[in-house]
Amino acid sequence: MSPNADRLGGGAEGRRAVLEARGLTKVYRMGEVDVHALRGVDLDLFEGEFVVLLGASGSGKSTLLNILGGLDVPTSGRVHYREHDLTEADDGALTRYRREHVGFVFQFYNLVPSLTARENVQLVTDISDNPLDPEEALALVGLSERSDHFPAQLSGGEQQRVSIARAIAKRPDVLLCDEPTGALDFRTGILVLDVIERVNRELGTTTAIITHNAPIAAIADRVITIADGSVLSEVRNATKARPADVRW
Amino acid sequence: MRALDRKLLRDLWRLKGQVATIAAVVACGIASFVALRGTFTSLRESQAAYYEQQRFGDVFATLRRAPESLKARVEEIPGVALAYTRLAETVMLPMDDMPEPAVGRVVSLPADGVPPLDGIYLVSGRLPRVGRADEAVILEAFATAHSLSLGGRIPAVLNGTRRDVRIVGIGMSPEFIFAISNPLDFTGDPKRFCVLWMDRSAVAPTFRMEGAFDDLVLRLQPGASEASVIEALDRLLGPYGAFGAVGRSKQISHSMLEGELQQLEGMALWIPALFLFVAAFLLNVVLTRLVYLQRPQIATLQAIGYPSWRIGAHFVELVSVVVVVGAIVGIALGAYLGRGMSALYAQYFHFPESFFRVDPRLAAIAVLVSVVAALVGALGAVRSILRLVPAEAMRPPTPLVYRLGLVERLGLDRIFGGSGRMVLRELRRQPVRTLLSSIGIALGVAIVVVGRFQADAFEELIDVQFFRAWREDLSVAFVTAAPARVVRELSQLPGVELAEGERYVPVRYRAGPRFRDSVIVGHADDLELRRLLDRDGVLVPVPEEGLLLSAKLAELLEVRPGDDVEVEVKEGERRVRTVRVSGVIDDTFGLMGHMRTAPLHRLVGEEQRVSLVVMRVDARSMDDVQARLKEMPGVGAVTRRMSIIERFRAQSGETMLFFTAILTAFAAIITIGVVYNNARVALSLRGRDLASLRVLGFTRREISAVLLGELGIQVLLALPLGLWLGDAMARLIASSVDPEQYRLPVHISARTYAFAAAVAVVSGIVSALFVRRRLDKLDLVEVLKERE
Ligand SMILES: Nc1ncnc2c1ncn2[C@@H]1O[C@H](COP(=O)(O)OP(=O)(O)O)[C@@H](O)[C@H]1O
Ligand SMILES: [Mg+2]
């Protein structure tokens, strides 16, 4: 793909951009009024890095993440995943993109209530080419013992860890987490962040986390702040904090 | 097993109540189709095979007496392929095991025992030997009804002489699949009518028919015009006392069978259609809710890379399981019911073999149609899945959309209180679903009404015809019309309190090209024992002059009061006369004309004669009188009115009970299906709200009232609609019954209405109890925690 050929050769960070967004806008038409969720966002996610997207509620973070993950399409602008133009892709191609490359972690876990922890993970391994074993994925998030439990029998934090196990079981290239700690208490939130951080470190998965909690930004390689549908600032952390040291 | 399949199984299990009730509705649809359509096709095929094997004729004629030489001239008529001449005589069979004699019909067999047309299927035994006038093959139904077996004897009065005929064979024939002695004997009681196939050369002398015939069966050439053959035949046979030839459509057995087949074919269409409609509706309701509730799950599946079609297929599989379960149960049930129905039919329609079988093709069609109906029902829901944007998965659950309606804005809702207000708002939010649910329940109610309407109609018919119109104790029919003085003679028998005569003259009514063969009934002035009542039981006087016609007959002939009809008398001098129609009567049975006796005798050109004498008899003398009558020469049939009624009730009773029971069960299943599913859907949609109410301190009773109030309103709305619908459907069915045989009065009793309403209400309550039990077990913590 020509537009980003120069970047592929080695960007500012000397690493390849896995995801590259240019001029993204998203307008929701709500009857008479237009809601501008994104107003021209440029953004890169580089191989193996851990990014935190920070912003107030309603600033457009989820909209951005959904577009990056192929869950939604922008009103205008372009998104490239490596050499593929996601904005040109049809529904089938987007589905394939999500299936093969992206792992999602949702704020409300979104587990299938009628399936056990293992089966929820299996949902993904059933359709992936070279997945982890579901047990292995659950072990990574420290839930081996709970693999036969249904979501209703698990605490919020445990459900979120199952959701992470489900997301990483396919060995995704990109892990996208939308407020993974949003529905959790502080202590459990740390536990979940710890798991995500470990996955990023040990498996080298490019990871983006959305949060409105500023202190969490400390654990990232890079912090992108979003306000009112635009990128406000971009900061590279000199030192990464460990999740356990974060307080909010 | 794949995780998605496991989810399917778990969802099915979680929804088992709904799966079971919808599958039951599907099963009813398939069962009714397999049973009705199966009976129809089996009957059709048996009929075709039987007609073929036993060479059922195309045209039939009865005459007084013609020389055998005439046969050659018949065969010369263009279009006639084969003519078979034979003897057919009505005789009396004074059976020992019943008070009134049975009617016998002696049908001759040729010397080789194999009639070229209208053959017999020998069930057991052998054919009578040539020259043996005391041997006969008899009709199987009669043998069974009287427990007669080979080697036994039956008493027969042949042309005035009593003879014991030995049963050498038991058989049946395509011309007597439905066997009755005359078209007015609608009961088809196998005890009352017997065919005796006997050697022609042996019985001819008895009936003074040597070298002659009085019955004729024709086979037509392919493509020949039946009408023109009949016309030529009537012209040729006229001088020999022919009663007018008829094609198959007016042959009694054939036309009865055809009428039944037509009715079956219609029922096999609309009853299953009704069920499948309801099943499709239920699947739509349940699936739409399910998809709504599972939106986050569906979006999640999309988000993690499942293609939309795969998720759609997941729900299609769910629907298919419901249909397949319903289909398996339905086919089994249909086969069982079909066998039961066939057994009922076999009491009236006699075939060599029992005819019901489940055609695998038919079952396949039923399942296919159900799957299509179900998928149509599911389509909307599945389509909405395919339209879902996966970004949905990220969003928090959306609350249900409510709007304030007129009632609230006017403040009227305050009078309903908290629970009432919630019920009201829910109904307002879902007006279409409420309406469709009510229609579903109404269909259930209507089915019950239809199931019982025939029983009502028959009771009404019995009441009008056999209690109010006919009031005699005993009737005596003569083989040929007797001089009127027998009325006085009979009235002088000890025990007879009153005797009155009726004259039946066989005629052909003709108006332009249209004709019908029937009778004119002659009524003496001032009759007490038999009156003419119309369908509604209103007395209709016989006009002084002219002809009073069955309304249906007038309609068929296209004549109105004041018009003339041509009447061809088939007795005596066989006159052809023009008679003025002076009125019509909307009656229940047959196609008839009525006249006063005096003008009728003038029309026929005869002295005063009677065909039938009706009598009021002192109850204690009944048996004596009947015994005396049995011995009287010229008497064809002696019938007690009460035994007609009993027979009628016994026969139709069994059939009615069968259909009523089945349709009631089916209706209950529909009603439960609709009410239960709506309740469950409401419960799963609003379980959280209700649990929240409980947390706020509402009692179980109060939250039940919210949910069950909706159901109650649906049932209440359904009742008037269902009763109206049932009434309309009953009318439709009544008009689909071959109106030339009998016309059911559409009179639905209050009891039926009450019963139908009760079935709906009880089904509603049963469903409510199920739901209430779930409500009581509502685990507050669980519900509030779990998001589906
Ligand atoms: N489906 C939608 N329809 C209309 N408006 C939407 C929709 N999704 C998001 N929005 C609006 O877009 C803006 C950004 O939303 P979102 O991306 O969810 O914000 P964040 O995740 O940062 O809280 C908000 O104002 C929100 O109301
Ligand atoms: Mg958000």
Residue A14 belongs to some domain of the structure: no
Q: Which of residues 215-244 of A touch B (CB under 8 A)?
A: none
Residue ranges of alpha helices (H) inside A30-185 are 61-68, 91-101, 117-125, 134-140, 156-168
Q: Which atom of ligand 1 is nearest to the CA of A29?
A: 4
What percent of chain B is modeled with pLDDT above 70?
90
Confirm or reject contact between A122 and chain B (CB < 8 A): yes
- Of B178-187, B618-627, B758-767, give the lowest mean pLDDT range: B178-187
Instruction: Decide if pLDDT at A113 tops 90.
Output: no
Contacts of A119 in chain B (CB under 8 A): 3, 6-7
Among the bound ligands, name the one nearest to the CA of residue B391: 1
- Residue from the list B3, B306, B389 with its beta carbon closest to the beta carbon of A115: B3
**pLDDT confidence band for A6 (50 / 70 / 90):** very low
pLDDT digits (tens, 9 = 90+) for B566-617: 998 877 777 889 999 999 998 887 788 999 999 999 988 888 889 889 999 9
pLDDT at residue B459 is higher than 90 = no
Strand order in the sheet with A76-81: A33-46, A17-30, A76-81, A84-85
Instruction: Closest CB to B3: pick one of A126, A151, A178.
Output: A126
Q: What is the pLDDT of residue A12?
A: 45
Lowest mean pLDDT among A166-175, A228-237, B641-650: B641-650
**Mean pLDDT, rounded, for A55-70:** 92
Render pLDDT for B340-397 as a digit per residue (tens, 0 to 9).
888 888 888 899 887 788 888 888 888 888 888 888 877 777 777 777 777 766 666 5
Confidence tier at B733 by pLDDT (50, 70, 90): confident
Residue B408 confidence (pLDDT) above 60: no
Distance separating alpha carbons of residues A144 and A132, to the nearest angstrom: 14
Mean pLDDT of B670-678: 82
A122: nearest CA partner in chain B? B3
Other residues' Cβ atoms within 10 Å of the Cβ of residue B530: 18
Number of CB pairs, chain A paired with chain B, less than 8 A apart: 102
What number is the average pLDDT over the span A76-85?
Answer: 94
CB B667 within 8 A of CB B706: no
Look at A123 and B302 and tell me if their CB atoms are within 8 Å: no
What's the rounded Cα separation, in Å, for the pair A8 and A46? 10
Q: What is the mean pLDDT of chain B?
A: 84
Ligand 1 atom closest to A26 (CA) = 12
If you measure CA to CA, which chain B residue comes closest to A134? B3
Ranges A206-210, B92-96, B426-430, B743-747: which has the least confidence: B426-430
Q: Does residue B143 or residue B703 have the better pLDDT?
A: B143
**CB–CB contact B2 A126 (8 Å):** yes
Average pLDDT rounded to a whole number, residues A207-211: 95
- Predicted local distance difference test score (pLDDT) of residue A1: 38
Longest Cα separation, chain A: 52
- Number of structural domains (chain A) is 1
B628 pLDDT exceeds 60? yes
Q: B71 pLDDT exceeds 80?
A: yes
Q: Which residues of A touch B300 (CB under 8 A)?
A: 106, 110-112
Let me know if residue A37 belongs to a domain: no
Residue A64 Cα, ligand 1 centroid: separation in angstroms?
10
| Predicted local distance difference test score (pLDDT) of residue A220 | 94
Chain B interface includes A93 (CB < 8 A): no
**Phi, psi for residue B751 in degrees, rounded to 5:** -60, -40
Listed in order, strand segments (DSSP E) in B485-536 are: 496-511, 514-523
Q: How many A from CA of A181 to the centre of ligand 2?
A: 12
**A209, A51 contact by CB (below 8 A):** yes
Range of A63's domain?
Answer: 47-72+90-240
Round to whole Å and give the CA distance between A94 and A90. Answer: 6
Compute the average pLDDT of residues A199-228: 93
What was the pLDDT predicted at A247? 77
**Does residue A83 belong to any structural domain of this protein?**
no
Distances (CA, A) of B579 to A98, B559, B560: 90, 12, 12
Residue B211's pLDDT band (boundaries 50, 70, 90)?
very high
Rounded to the nearest angstrom, the distance between the alpha carbon of A64 and the centre of ligand 2 is 9
Question: Does residue B18 or residue B682 have the better pLDDT?
Answer: B18
Ligand 2: distance of its center to the CA of A36 in Å?
15
pLDDT of residue A235: 93
Residue B407, pLDDT score: 52
Structure confidence at residue B412 (pLDDT) = 53
Task: Report pLDDT digits (tens) over B697-729.
Answer: 677 777 777 777 878 888 888 999 999 998 888
Comparing C-alpha atoms, which of B46, B193, B197, B45 is closest to residue B128?
Answer: B197
Domains and CATH numbers, chain B: 1-59+251-398 (no CATH), 60-250 (no CATH), 496-617 (2.40.40)
Measured between beta carbons, which residues in chain B are less than 8 angstroms from residue A90? none
pLDDT of residue B183: 59
**Section A53-67 average pLDDT:** 93
The chain A residue lying nearest B394, using CA atoms, is A106
Contact B4 A96 (CB under 8 A): no
**Three-class DSSP labels, B13-34:** HHCHHHHHHHHHHHHHHHHHHH
Residue A217 lies in a domain: yes
Contact A108 B787 (CB under 8 A): yes
Could you give the angle at which helices B700-736 and B431-462 cross, rounded to 10 degrees? 50
Residue A2 has what pLDDT? 38
The ligand that comes nearest to the alpha carbon of residue A107 is 2
Helices and strands (H and E) in chain B: how many? 21, 20
In this predicted structure, what is the pLDDT of residue B619? 86
Indicate the pLDDT class of residue A146, thresholds 50, 70 and 90: very high
Residue A85 lies in a domain: no
Count of Cβ atoms closer than 10 Å to residue B536 Cβ:
11
Mutation pick for ligand 1 pocket among A26, A27, A62 (CB with most ligand atoms within 8 Å): A62
Judge whether A122 lies within some domain: yes
A contact test, residue of B15, B304, B306, B311 with most A CBs within 10 A: B304
Average pLDDT over residues B118-137: 93
Ligand 2 center to A69 CA (angstroms): 14
Q: Which atom of ligand 1 is nearest to the CA of A178?
A: 21
Q: Which residue of B has its CA nearest to A159?
A: B786
Q: What is the mean pLDDT of residues B94-119?
A: 88
Residue among B522, B492, B778 at smallest CA distance from B617:
B492
Q: Is the pLDDT of residue B425 over 70?
A: no
Instruction: Tell me whether residues B7 and A98 touch, CB distance under 8 A.
Output: no
Chain B residues lying within 8 Å of A167, measured CB to CB: 304
Q: Which residue has the higher pLDDT, B263 or B613?
A: B613
Q: Which residues line ligand 1 (CB under 6 A)?
A: A 28, 30, 35, 37, 55, 57-63
> Rounded to a whole number, what is the distance in Å from the CA of B684 to chain A's nearest CA?
14
Give the chain B residue whose CA is nearest to the CA of A99. Answer: B305
What pLDDT score does A5 carry? 37
Smallest Cα distance from B668 to chain A, Å: 32
pLDDT at B477 over 70: yes
Q: Output the average pLDDT for chain A.
A: 88
pLDDT of residue A134: 94
Residue B454 reports pLDDT greater than 70: yes
Residue A10: pLDDT band (50, 70, 90) is very low
CATH code, domain carrying A66: 3.40.50.300
Distance B393 CA to ligand 2 centre (A): 11
pTM of the model: 0.76
User: Which ligand is in closest contact with the Cα of A25?
Assistant: 1
Flag whether pLDDT at B754 surpasses 80.
yes
For the ranges A17-26, A153-162, B525-534, the one whose mean pLDDT is highest: A17-26
pLDDT at B786: 47
The per-residue pLDDT for range B275-297, each reduced to its tens digit, is: 788 778 777 777 777 777 787 88
**Which residues lie closer than 8 Å to B139 by C-beta, 6 or more apart?**
B170, B171, B172, B176, B179, B190, B193, B194, B195, B196, B350
Q: Residue A119 falls within a domain, yes or no?
A: yes
Averaged pLDDT for residues A50-62:
94
Hey, is the C-beta of A86 within 8 angstroms of any chain B C-beta? no
Lowest model confidence (mean pLDDT) among A153-157, B150-154, B548-552, B777-781? B777-781
Whose alpha carbon is nearest atom 17 of ligand 1? A60
pLDDT of residue B147: 93
Atom of ligand 1 nearest to the CA of A226: 22
Show residues of chain B in contact with A126, CB under 8 Å.
2-4
- Higher pLDDT pick, A4 / A200: A200
Confidence of residue B779 (pLDDT cuts 50, 70, 90): low
Predicted local confidence at residue B418, as pLDDT: 59
What residue type is A244 in one-letter code?
A: A
Nearest to B566 by CA among B554, B574, B556, B577: B577
Does the CB of A100 have a partner CB in chain B at under 8 Å? Answer: yes
In a domain, A39, yes or no: no
User: Which of the ligands is closest to the CA of residue A228?
Assistant: 1
